């Protein structure tokens, strides 16, 4: 309990109108017209008041927060380092110095010798409240290093070029970029993606070293605001890949890396709903495409005739194999896929002979690791499961052998035998079976008296993998069962799973999540009101929706940078992400059907006069993905309408964006606060009375 009173945001109602419907928004003023700058004194005063209230409420939990922070830090190897990866004449790796928040990057001669520092993130981050390194790309001859940094969380990156022999950064600086960089084959040209005034990645430019960056050549410009531009490099390093895409449509162009001034080669013109990606090997293009099956197929085509008329099928699409990616090496290609919902890596030679890597576990996640060379006889692979820490392996292709190079070390100790991981299924409202990943201690009660932590996302076709997470141990060791609800909107069970959780079927994500909770209750892992739920970004929207629908199920809710003002955001085409988001949610500007559907589930618009569970909501002041005013408006309206006295907290990081604090220990401090909030809610709720710190 605290004597501090929760802040109350002023109401400055405005009336909106669309498709013959009028509605009032009393908190629209919380959006600063000068965004991405936030200087309005009334807005900042409200955000700071909420932060002060959060601090006052959590002051009594500082001992618990410190205990949790110590636990979390104790599970991280202080001087952790990566397994070196070969690339040309060098071996590259990173290492954390003891106590450091950021990595130091090294390289050593491949034939033996002392490792030298390439880049020291700690030095670059000195005296900065936020720091993020996006790209780190040595030039082909190894003499230069291009890297991109963001110092405020806005995801507007500055590109730097460092001379690795002298250690001096050159005057070649390019600002306002998306952060990705690709070198030409001769190392004289650097390709990058520029942001426009609305922070959309829209233009590829080529910077010739030693020239004025303001005169950089434009390689490609995307005029459709619903398409974002990205760049990459084929594994062969023969082609720079320029992709223009939305959530549902992709269009690819290739630039010969040996002829950086050449015109981009279009592979297949954009067609609504057609997604494809391109790799290269042996004078052919290898193209993953959804043109005939939504789970994708693999085709190949000659470089001089890349269009769809020349596509030759190599692997047909089917309902069981969901092709996530294709990477071409000299002697084989690797298909990353899900087989009936579980991770699978398939190795295929260019004659068509293939096999899958056998990981000898039933439920796990695996994927390609850091593989930089085209000509190789082995693959770097990452693996983990609900109970097995992250493991780095080399897969020796010829003899089909896995070699363990490193397993995540838990310095404070970890005994996998104490925990059980399993896959369960919930019956959704329409009869669909929804997978649940569950992990708990072997002595976890299954009589309804236990505590349950349930996580969900369910958007953009992003799967939540059943992987290891050492931070869960702080809950597992305090009697919680921990579960992931693999709701529709993700792609865990193939593209159909994604399709059935978006647009007109978006509410499946919400009802699936509730069905998972009810299945876990039925299984004895918790009782109604003894479940903590958590989600971030679009997963935060999921939290808002299920809290509106079934508030009595949840003891507490953590909604991190939550996308809760869906209707107003999708009606505002000036925001950076809105046009590209319309294929995911619908376009309420032009479609009355989309407008009414989104309005019917939008968390902000559907807050009611009723009791809500305890809630912690977070925001980032410079967040370009979910703007800070969405969670701020959401909390303000909740305070206005809710009838309970359960805790409602808003914490805005005034120095960061969508991903919170950047340093590894600072990020753990934020996580410790979240875990402390959850534990506080269970402690207070299990006591003689409910939490009474005020709404």
Dig out the tokens for 208 from the structure: 């010739």
- Tell me the backbone φ, ψ of residue 562, rounded to 5 degrees: -80, 135
The answer to whether residues 646 and 612 touch, using CB atoms and an 8 Å cutoff, is yes
The answer to whether residues 653 and 688 touch, using CB atoms and an 8 Å cutoff, is no
223 has catalytic annotation: no
Dig out the tokens for 656 from the structure: 């960061």
Residue 436: exposed, middle, or buried by beta-carbon count in 10 A (0-12, 13-18, 19+)? buried
Dig out the tokens for 465 from the structure: 């993998």
Count of CA atoms in the C-beta half-sphere (13 A) of 77: 14
The answer to whether residues 463 and 453 touch, using CB atoms and an 8 Å cutoff, is no
In 10 A of CB 441, how many CB atoms? 18
Identify which of 640, 562, 570, 642 has the alpha carbon closest to the alpha carbon of residue 603: 562
Sequential DSSP letters for 595-612:
HHHHHHH-TGGG--SS--
DSSP 59: G
Kindly report the three-state secondary structure assignment for every residue of 623-645: CCCCCCHHHHHHHHHHHHHCCCC
Count of CA atoms in the C-beta half-sphere (13 A) of 582: 24
List, in order, residues 6 or more apart from 462 with CB less than 8 Å away: 490, 491
Instruction: Using DSSP bridges, classify how beta strands 250-256 and 239-245 pair: parallel, antiparallel or unpaired.
Output: antiparallel
Give me the catalytic one of 247, 459, 658, 662. Answer: 658
Distance CA 30, CA 531 (A): 32
List Cα–Cα distances, 147 to 46, 91, 92, 136, 163, in angstroms.
37, 18, 15, 5, 12
Dig out the tokens for 10 from the structure: 């002023």
| Residues in a beta bridge with 354 | 348
In 10 A of CB 312, how many CB atoms? 11
Dig out the tokens for 299 from the structure: 């085709």
163 has catalytic annotation: no
List Cα–Cα distances, 520 to 288, 319, 553, in angstroms.
38, 28, 12
Give me the catalytic one of 154, 246, 537, 622. Answer: 537
List, in order, residues 6 or more apart from 544 with CB less than 8 Å away: 559, 562, 564, 603, 604, 634
Distance CA 172, CA 147 (A): 11
The answer to whether residues 489 and 498 touch, using CB atoms and an 8 Å cutoff, is yes
Give me the catalytic one of 150, 172, 623, 684. Answer: 623
For the sheet containing 333-339, what is the strand order?
321-328, 333-339, 342-348, 354-356
412 has catalytic annotation: no
In 10 A of CB 610, how many CB atoms? 12
Task: Pinpoint the alpha helices (H) of 89-128.
Answer: 121-125
Could you give the 3-state DSSP secondary structure of residue 509? helix
Polymer length in residues for the chain: 695
Residue 259, preceding peptide bond in cis (omega within 30° of 0): no
Identify which of 32, 33, 34, 44 has the alpha carbon closest to the alpha carbon of residue 7: 44
Instruction: Using DSSP bridges, classify how beta strands 21-25 and 401-407 pair: parallel, antiparallel or unpaired.
Output: unpaired
Work out whether the CA dihedral 520, 524, 527, 528 comes out positive or negative. Answer: positive
Active site residues: 537, 623, 658
């Amino acid at each position: 309990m605290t004597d501090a009173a929760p802040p109350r945001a002023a109401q400055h109602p405005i009336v909106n109108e669309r498709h013959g419907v009028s509605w009032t928004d009393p908190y629209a003023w919380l959006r600063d017209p000068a965004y991405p700058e936030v200087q309005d004194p009334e807005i900042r005063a409200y955000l700071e008041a909420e932060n002060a209230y959060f601090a006052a409420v959590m002051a009594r939990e500082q001992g618990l927060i410190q205990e949790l922070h110590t636990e979390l830090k104790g599970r991280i190897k202080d001087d952790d380092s990566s397994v070196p990866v070969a690339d040309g004449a060098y071996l590259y790796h990173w290492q954390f110095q003891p106590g450091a928040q950021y990595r130091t990057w090294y390289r050593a001669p491949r034939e033996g010798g002392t490792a030298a520092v390439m880049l020291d993130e700690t030095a670059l981050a000195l005296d900065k409240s936020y720091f993020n390194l996006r790209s780190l790309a040595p030039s082909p001859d190894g003499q230069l290093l291009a890297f991109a940094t963001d110092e405020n969380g806005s995801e507007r990156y500055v590109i730097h070029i460092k001379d690795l022999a002298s250690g001096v950064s050159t005057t070649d600086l390019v600002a306002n970029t998306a952060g990705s960089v690709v070198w030409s084959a001769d190392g004289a040209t650097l390709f990058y993606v520029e942001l426009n005034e609305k922070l959309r990645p829209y233009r590829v430019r080529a910077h010739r070293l030693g020239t004025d960056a303001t005169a950089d050549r434009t390689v490609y410009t995307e005029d459709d605001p619903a398409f974002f531009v990205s760049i990459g490099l084929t594994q062969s390093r023969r082609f720079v890949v320029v992709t223009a895409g939305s959530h549902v449509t992709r269009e690819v162009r290739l630039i010969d890396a040996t002829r950086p001034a050449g015109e981009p080669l279009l592979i297949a013109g954009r067609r609504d709903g057609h997604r494809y990606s391109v790799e290269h090997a042996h004078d052919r293009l290898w193209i993953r495409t959804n043109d005939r099956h939504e789970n994708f197929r693999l085709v190949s085509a000659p470089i001089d005739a890349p269009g769809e008329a020349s596509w030759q099928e190599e692997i047909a699409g089917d309902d069981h194999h969901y092709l996530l990616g294709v990477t071409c090496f000299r002697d084989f290609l690797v298909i990353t896929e899900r087989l009936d919902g579980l991770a699978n890596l398939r190795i295929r030679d260019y004659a068509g002979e293939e096999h899958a890597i056998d990981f000898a576990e039933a439920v796990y996640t695996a994927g390609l690791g850091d593989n930089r060379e085209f000509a190789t006889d082995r693959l770097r692979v990452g693996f983990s499961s609900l109970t097995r820490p992250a493991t780095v392996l080399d897969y020796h292709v010829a003899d089909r052998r896995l070699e363990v190079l490193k397993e995540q070390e838990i310095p404070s100790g970890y005994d996998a035998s104490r925990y059980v991981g399993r896959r369960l299924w919930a019956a959704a409202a329409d009869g669909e079976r929804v997978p649940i990943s569950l992990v708990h201690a072997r002595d976890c009660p299954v009589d309804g008296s236990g505590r349950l932590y349930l996580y969900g996302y369910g958007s953009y076709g992003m799967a939540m993998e059943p992987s290891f997470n050492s931070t869960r141990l702080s809950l597992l060791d305090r009697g919680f069962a921990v579960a992931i609800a693999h709701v529709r909107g993700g792609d865990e069970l193939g593209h159909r799973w994604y399709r059935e959780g978006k647009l007109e079927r978006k509410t499946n994500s919400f009802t699936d999540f509730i069905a998972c909770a009810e299945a876990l209750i039925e299984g004895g892992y918790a009782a109604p009101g003894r479940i903590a739920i958590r989600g971030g970004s679009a997963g935060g929207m999921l939290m808002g929706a299920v809290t509106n629908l079934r508030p009595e199920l949840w003891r507490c809710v953590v909604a991190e940078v939550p996308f809760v003002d869906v209707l107003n955001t999708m009606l505002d085409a000036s925001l950076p992400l809105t046009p590209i988001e319309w294929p995911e949610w619908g376009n309420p500007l032009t479609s009355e059907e989309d407008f009414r559907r989104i309005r019917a589930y939008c968390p902000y618009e559907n807050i009611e006069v009723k009791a809500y569970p305890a809630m912690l909501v977070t925001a980032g002041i410079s967040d370009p993905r979910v703007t800070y005013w969405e969670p701020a408006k959401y909390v303000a309206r909740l305070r206005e309408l809710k009838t309970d006295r359960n805790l409602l907290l808003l914490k805005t990081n005034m120095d960061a964006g969508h991903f919170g604090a950047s340093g590894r220990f600072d990020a753990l401090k934020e996580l410790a606060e979240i875990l402390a909030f959850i534990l506080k809610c269970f402690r207070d709720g299990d006591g003689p009375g409910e939490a009474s710190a005020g709404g």
